[in-house]
Structure 1
Amino acid sequence: MITKLRRNSPIAAQGKRYPFQVSIVAWGDLLGYGGRIAEAAFNPLDERAKASVSRMREFHRIVAEHSNRHFPTLVINDGVAAFRDLSLRSRSVGHDFLEKSWELFNAVNAAEVERGDPGIRMVVACGFRMRGRKAKFESNHDKVNSILRRFREGQLTAEQAIQEASTARPSFDVVPQLQANFAFTKAYVAESSGSAGGLPGRSFYLDTALLSDPTCEWPSGGDGILWRDNVLGLDTVFRKVVNFPKVKHPEGGASELRTGLEVAQFLAGDLDVLKALRSSQK
């Protein structure tokens, strides 16, 4: 495994597309949520479930406020996945993602503490993902055709047609960025391992494969935590983060974050990983 990479490693061609991307994913999960719903026998009509339902709605609201084009999220009940592809050439994309993940983590926990709830644990990991395809929109969908027909006949205004069309959904949907995404796999499995995996409590854990030097002082946090899942054969060293000082010039030599290319080289254990990626396209 490569532990230190040359900063003058080969530069990826700008705009070049490969069958694999280098992804960064943050997975967070509300602590204790499942147990409390279980106490109410998974019955939303049970009085004991009301607090949990309210908690989840507040969680969704906070995630929605922090989500944007450069920080897309997928919420699944009491869990959230934020995802983005790292730039092969730049460090700024990774810095931006980490800052936004840290802000979301703190916002959720501030609300959780105020409510007297146990908070969220978040794990950020990196890994390869295969390029996926967007769900095919069914252009002959009955609802879409109905909207178009009624608009042409003057039964709907343009505003009404747009509002109604916004509710149309394909019969099959998918988030391509999270399919065959091994950063997501690592983050999800690591977070789920909790205390047994060495990642306890309401904390933020960072995959040190993202750092050029796992022992560096940025971001502020504890010593490395060796984590492994024997069933899947996944392993990495995480750091419990207590502070994410902003880096003024991410592209400068002061940054300890790896570029996407350097992460790929580390994960593959191959400085010529781009050559291997090109070969896989033939």
Structure 2
Amino acid sequence: MIGTTGLNPVDERAKDAVARLRAFHRVVAEHSGRHYRTLVINDGAVAYRDLSLRDNGVTHDFLQRSHALFRAIDASERRNGWPGARMVIGAGFRAKGSRRGIDDAERRVDRILEQMAAAEISAEEAVRQAASIQRYADGIPQLQANFAFTRAYVAEAAGSRAGLGGPKMFVDTTIFDDSTPPSWVRCGPAIPFSEAGLQINCQFVPVTDLAAPGKVGNRIRGLRDGLDIGSALAPTLELRGLITASR
């Protein structure tokens, strides 16, 4: 839409494109929270969460929140006659990311608090200085060396040529027991996806709806927890033994 204006947001024809962008940002913000954090860049958004190694309820919570976000975006798009959006949920490992920007801001806040405690500045001045702190190099640690993000990004970018086209919600089947969607996940047939250069070889299903999952004991039926997913992604690592040994 913005391309028809030569990427000029003040062109009269750009009004719909800018309105669409702002509507998208608003919907993502409304669905973000402590347990569903997001990063928005222009017309894309990344939601992320570390899964529990024992409780697959966290997996269900992320899937359910993602589905709610997708439905809200889809409703906004349809209401305005816009093309729709695509969501891809990927599973993967992540390494610890850099906290340089966060740590630097925390050090500056600590220095302000020390000055206030020493009566070198007033409380009002401390608040003013803290409010003016800016990060000059920023980043979200959870999205650095995050290979679930890599997996989802590569699949989304492949789009129609990989069978992942259209305004749909595609879910990596690695999150399901035996990589098979349970009956409460209403979806189309699995779509194989591979990227030889990154050694990605998985399947996605286009999810249309989620019903109440039910439980088997204390576990959500049909979903893997973080440890199960890790073991499915890297079966030769024997993750359960590594985690037990580290405790």
Q: Which amino acid aligns with 2:89?
A: V
> 1:237 — aligned with what?
203
> C-alpha distance in 2, partners of 1:209/1:44?
41
Matched, 1:257 2:223: yes
> 2:17 — aligned with what?
52
Is 1:92–1:250's contact at 8 Å kept on the other side of the alignment? no
> C-alpha distance in 2, partners of 1:115/1:205?
23
- The match for 2:124 among 149, 157, 163 is 157
> 2:170 — aligned with what?
205
Shift of 1:172: 1.2
> 2:74 — aligned with what?
109
> 2:189 — aligned with what?
223
Q: Which amino acid aligns with 1:80?
A: A
1:278/1:240 CA distance change after superposition, 3 Å:
same
Is 1:113–1:119's contact at 8 Å kept on the other side of the alignment? yes
Matching of residues 114-125 of structure 1 within 5 Å:
114-125=79-90
> 1:22 — aligned with what?
none
Q: Which amino acid aligns with 1:46?
A: D
> C-alpha distance in 1, partners of 2:79/2:86?
16
Matching of residues 164-179 of structure 1 within 5 Å:
165-179=130-144
> 1:39 — aligned with what?
4
Is 2:170–2:206's contact at 8 Å kept on the other side of the alignment? yes
Which stretches in structure 2 are left out of the alignment for 5+ residues? none
Counterpart secondary structure, 1:223:
coil
> C-alpha distance in 1, partners of 2:132/2:165?
40
> C-alpha distance in 2, partners of 1:184/1:212?
21
> C-alpha distance in 1, partners of 2:154/2:168?
15
User: What per-residue deviation string (whole Å, max 9, x for no partner) do you get for residues 57-95 of structure 1?
Assistant: 111111111100000000011001000011111101000
Shift of 1:228: 1.4
Shift of 1:54: 1.1
User: What per-residue deviation string (whole Å, max 9, x for no partner) do you get for residues 237-258 of structure 1?
Assistant: 1111111113243764661001
Question: TM-score, normalization: structure 2?
Answer: 0.86
Is 2:214–2:221's contact at 8 Å kept on the other side of the alignment? no
User: What per-residue deviation string (whole Å, max 9, x for no partner) do you get for residues 117-166 of structure 1?
Assistant: 0111001110000012323325676xx96xx78x9655x837xx646634
Is 1:70–1:84's contact at 8 Å kept on the other side of the alignment? yes
> 1:194 — aligned with what?
159
Is 1:91–1:251's contact at 8 Å kept on the other side of the alignment? no
Is 2:39–2:45's contact at 8 Å kept on the other side of the alignment? yes
> C-alpha distance in 2, partners of 1:128/1:232?
14
Q: Which amino acid aligns with 2:172?
A: D
Where is the helix percentage greater, Structure 1 or Structure 2?
2
Which stretches in structure 1 are left out of the alignment for 5+ residues? 1-35
Is 1:220–1:243's contact at 8 Å kept on the other side of the alignment? yes
Question: TM-score, normalization: structure 1?
Answer: 0.76
- The match for 1:63 among 28, 31, 53 is 28
Aligned length, in residue pairs: 238
Q: Percent identity?
A: 40
Q: Which amino acid aligns with 2:229?
A: V
> C-alpha distance in 2, partners of 1:79/1:222?
24
Tell me how large the CA RMSD over aligned residues is.
2.7
Counterpart secondary structure, 2:236:
coil
Counterpart secondary structure, 1:130:
coil
